[in-house]
């Protein structure tokens, strides 16, 4: 009898494994719908900034506040996302987040001033703060560790369609219709996402989520908001220097208060003890430096082609989409690269190659052949895609399942801070270069300096990878 039951048991296990794999891929595709909407929104608005600046009577360079206000809102509210998912269920929170993001998009499309737009972008940020980390948590809790890398690849492919479609679509809408439509296109995508989540996503929750760390939310929110506002306003002349210095000091002070609070709280909102895990530490430190450089590109490239090269929004969008197209091409090769070389060696070499291609953007000039520009952006997107997938996967390689909510909250918070810093550093360098060169308007030379600065920051991520053992996350990559 035991010999007769073994094939049946094997078949049942194989069926369970196949069902679990299908559920993982389906969950990844559902989450990717939300990421598609967010990535589409980010790339479209970057292309539309110059046109929006004309309507609002604002400086195009200072329009980056429309990007950073959204990222600021993300950074402040992401820390509570893990607890919300544990308390109310990942599916319920994820669906509500999509609804809030869609509502914020509608409000952005009705904006009649920069202040109104910023307020609407903050509403979007509240939705995005729950949408991305909770969606990722939903996926990580569905997949086995050996499936995480594959799941991340499945998650990334549809999400990368947003940056590909965004620049040309945004350029077309701005040039031939109205910039307001770049926000309205989120409405049908948001409705589709809510329907898919309701029908197919599992409602994973913690039976004993514990109490919300309210003081932690207050101290971390104040610290992040003040630090990011100080970075945004530094050197702009929008407020007196003493105000910027006060916000910077306040941000540091509240950060120290939160650090002390986290050390004495049994379940802090942002759990810094996760940094004791080498793979998580490397992904955070290296990924932060890398994202600062790459995070500046969606802001710098459309402005370079429109303000520096004098091209239309439609032409700018058709050029910048090459970077995201390269990311799509890389996805099938990601698994193979990590299996052959492992996480550490792949991240080390690829960070250098990606950063050098980012630095190459500093050499762009109006008389360059478009084919050369396409080639640099296409190849750069190819290698950046591999880097992001590797960072996003290895971060969770050694995280226990019961600490996954805390890990996704902390990782997503730092991820958004780094992207915000990329935009603010890029804008600050442009303005500083204008002042030092004595130019009344931003030109190609100012963009050259900006790309050099963010490229240097990005390449600093390479040596951080050496903090991780060479055989790190072998179970996830399949590398031996």
d(CA 285, CA 356): 19
Torsion, Cα 338 343 344 349, to 10 degrees, reads 40
In order along the chain (480 residues), what is the average pLDDT of each group of 10 residues? 56 63 72 76 74 78 74 80 83 89 90 86 88 78 69 64 67 80 86 84 70 87 83 63 84 92 86 90 92 82 83 73 67 76 89 92 88 87 83 85 82 80 82 80 85 92 89 74
Paired tokens of 78: 């992401």
- 181: number of Cβ within 10 Å: 17
d(CA 409, CA 403): 10
d(CA 299, CA 428): 12
Longest dimension (CA), the chain: 89
Helix axes of 404-437 and 81-88: crossing angle, nearest 10 degrees: 150
Residues 381, 389 contacting (CB under 8 angstroms): no
Paired tokens of 115: 């202040």
- 422: number of Cβ within 10 Å: 28
Quote the pTM value: 0.74
Q: H or E stretch including 4?
A: helix 2-56
Residues 70, 43 contacting (CB under 8 angstroms): no
Residue-range domains of the chain with CATH: 13-213+267-477 (1.20.1250.20)
Q: What is the CA radius of gyration of the chain?
A: 22
Question: What pLDDT score does 1 carry?
Answer: 43
């Amino acid at each position: 009898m035991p010999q007769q039951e073994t094939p049946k048991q094997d078949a049942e296990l194989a069926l369970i494994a196949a069902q679990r794999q299908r559920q993982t891929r389906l969950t990844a595709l559902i989450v990717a719908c939300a990421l598609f909407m967010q990535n589409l929104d980010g790339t479209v608005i970057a292309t539309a900034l110059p046109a929006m600046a004309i309507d609002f009577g604002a400086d195009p360079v200072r329009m980056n506040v429309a990007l950073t206000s959204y990222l600021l809102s993300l950074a402040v509210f992401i820390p509570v996302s893990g607890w919300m998912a544990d308390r109310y269920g990942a599916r319920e929170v994820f669906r509500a987040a999509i609804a809030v993001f869609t509502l914020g998009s509608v409000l952005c499309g009705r904006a009649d001033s920069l202040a109104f737009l910023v307020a609407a972008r903050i509403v979007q940020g509240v939705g995005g703060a729950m949408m991305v980390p909770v969606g990722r948590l939903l996926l990580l809790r569905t997949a086995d560790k050996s499936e995480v890398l594959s799941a991340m690849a499945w998650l990334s492919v549809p999400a990368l369609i947003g940056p590909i479609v965004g620049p040309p679509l945004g350029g077309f809408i701005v040039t031939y219709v109205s910039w307001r439509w770049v926000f309205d296109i989120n409405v049908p995508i948001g409705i589709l996402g809510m329907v898919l989540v309701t029908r197919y996503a599992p409602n994973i929750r913690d039976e004993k989520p514990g109490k919300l760390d309210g003081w932690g939310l207050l101290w971390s929110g104040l610290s992040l908001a003040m630090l990011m506002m100080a970075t945004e306003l530094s050197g702009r002349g929008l407020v007196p220097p003493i105000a910027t210095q006060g916000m910077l000091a306040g941000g540091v002070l509240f950060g120290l208060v939160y650090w002390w609070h986290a050390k004495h709280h049994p379940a802090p909102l942002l759990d810094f003890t996760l940094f004791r895990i080498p793979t998580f530490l490397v992904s955070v430190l290296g990924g932060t430096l890398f994202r600062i450089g790459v995070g500046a590109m969606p802001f710098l490239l459309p402005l370079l082609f429109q303000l520096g090269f004098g091209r239309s929004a439609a032409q700018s969008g058709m050029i910048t989409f090459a970077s995201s197209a390269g990311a799509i091409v890389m996805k099938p090769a990601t698994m193979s690269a990590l299996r052959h070389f492992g996480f550490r060696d792949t991240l080390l070499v690829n960070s250098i190659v990606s950063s050098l291609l980012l630095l190459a953007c500093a050499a762009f000039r109006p008389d360059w052949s478009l084919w050369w520009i396409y080639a640099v952006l296409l190849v750069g997107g190819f290698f950046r895609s591999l880097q992001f997938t590797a960072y996003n996967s290895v971060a969770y390689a050694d995280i226990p399942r019961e600490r996954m909510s805390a890990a996704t909250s902390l990782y997503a918070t730092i991820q958004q801070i780094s992207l915000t810093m990329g935009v603010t550093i890029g804008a600050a360098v442009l303005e500083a270069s204008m002042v030092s060169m004595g130019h009344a308007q931003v030109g190609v030379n100012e963009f050259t300096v900006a790309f050099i600065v963010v490229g240097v920051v990005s390449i600093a991520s390479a040596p951080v990878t050496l903090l991780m053992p060479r055989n790190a996350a072998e179970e996830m990559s399949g590398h031996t």
